[in-house]
Structure 1
């Protein structure tokens, strides 16, 4: 509860170059680690009967992916962080390229090239920081004095890599293809955890290592986040494919997270951490439910559905709960994160909060429209009349996520009490450096 790094492990790896295998966890990374370790077994259980070929290889790649993501959230040495960061590309590339849809190779290559290219400058800056500071250790590099020009270039190099991963507008174009073509388990991991690596990177590295540049460029980050919120929502409104809708909703929801980061307030940053977890749970559940209905009907078009409540009421009930969590209904997890971000954003700039509120309204519009199109109305399509409802395995996949929706929504302080001390330490680091204007 003091905001310091806990459970630290350090082993000299390449001592001549100052590289150590240094890991640790604090309130900012704790729940992202737990989210990763929760979604991992869930997608394995989901895939057990849904993946028809090379299941062992598929599960192996999921576990390798989980290893890389945990390394990203725990690494406190910049070289180790970069290795884990790039390492996560490999299993996801094969998951999309081997088990994805008909355009899977194009989507996999696009995902790989975008994120790989964005990380190239970050590696250069890591080497410069190690040369300037005599170490690649995150804790030792905090407080390193750099000319503002160098700090600005370093900030922008890290920001580019993280903005592509989030993805922040206008670096988002790889995401819809990757989501739509990925197998269900890949989409869950991609939206649930992989995208959070970007927002986590901003909080873990950009803010404490480049505090002056952070204060200088926070308004630009906020602007891009607001554009992403509105753009993602408007494009989601016109989607005819339910998986595409969920993909574009991720752009809007992650824009919310980045707006909280850009506010540089305690409530905004704490809300960003919590909302990142909330998005992982809710959007992960949405992709699971889309996968379940796709396995039965082999289509994701809204026009092929309608009246599903009459035929598969259990699936429909779960779908409504998950959508309400994504919308931010009070009592469910989404409300706490969004409200906390709005409070922090209002303190930074009331107009930012006004734009974000419009995004909340649009999110309710496109998500509830999806519910209306799929669940209510007449059961016109003949093929929908023979659909089977969820089995025990599928219910077991969804129940832990739904329980967490209610637990976070009703007892948010259990999480915020762990997050706030780490955010306080982070803000002290940023505010100890006077803004360059």
Structure 2
């Protein structure tokens, strides 16, 4: 567009300078063209700016070309040096090849022998490698078969896992439904249970529990502490009093008792062995005699038992069907109380076990203090002594409560007084 406009401008100027005496129509057209050129001056200035930019880029490219030419000259020099080095290396290689050829002519026979040996070795290695390759192929085939079987097993397991997951989802849904139903039933039962139970029972139970606690803390516990303290004092006094007697028993009586015990042991041992042998023989003979009678009696009783079972089964089933709903109702009603009882019983067992272990340790310490009672310090005796110590106060309290609240019924006396006269003895007719 810009070039065409310049051409138009040049033509216009030529026409102006050559034809000064033109028509008025031509003048008007010339004026119109001048206006168009004036309007296009702005576009021309833009083109000029673009030309300046292009010139600047050309100068920059020329400077870059100069730099590249210098670099190429340097690289050509480096290449010439490398070519010289390569030619020198080629000369040295040709010399070495000539030397190698001369050496090969001299030692060709020995090299041939060595090569033959190497060929034989390589052939042997080749055969061994072929066998190894065959074994490896066999192993790969076996491994591929195993992989296929494992893939099959894996797919089967995946299918089983999917089935189990579906079953688990179904069971989870059923569990949710069952839990929801159980919660609703528990709510209904608690409402019924709360309506059925009398409210005065819980209040009386709490009052009775508080009364027992107060009586225990005020009366029973201090009395038991005093009794324990007195018992410990008495045991200490008894231990002090018994120390000299224990020493005399250790020095005088224990060795005599040991000797007598050894004599008794040696004398009684054969009698015990014979007695055990006879008891074993008696047991075996009695067993061999009784077993056939027992089998016969069992066989004889079996038909009667079966008849009784057949006769009583419908009645038992009827009783079970009749009592089943009532039993379930009772079980549902008593369930919260049974839970409380089980928890209380568990707590009681834990506390009793703790106290039992403590008492057992105290008994063990007291038995191990004296040498006479050391051999008696066994687990069985400690356990029985601890249980007896713990059970004695309970038995004592039970006896006290029974004596207070349960009145003894007076038994009628057998020796009744008869005021009737005794009849005289009849005289015999012979006398």
**TM-score interval w.r.t. the shorter chain?**
under 0.3
TM-score, structure 1 as length reference:
0.16
TM-score, structure 2 as length reference:
0.16
Bigger relative contact order, structure 1 or 2, given CA contacts below 8 A and separation 6+?
1
Query: Over alpha carbons, which structure has the higher Rg?
Result: 2
Higher helix share: 2
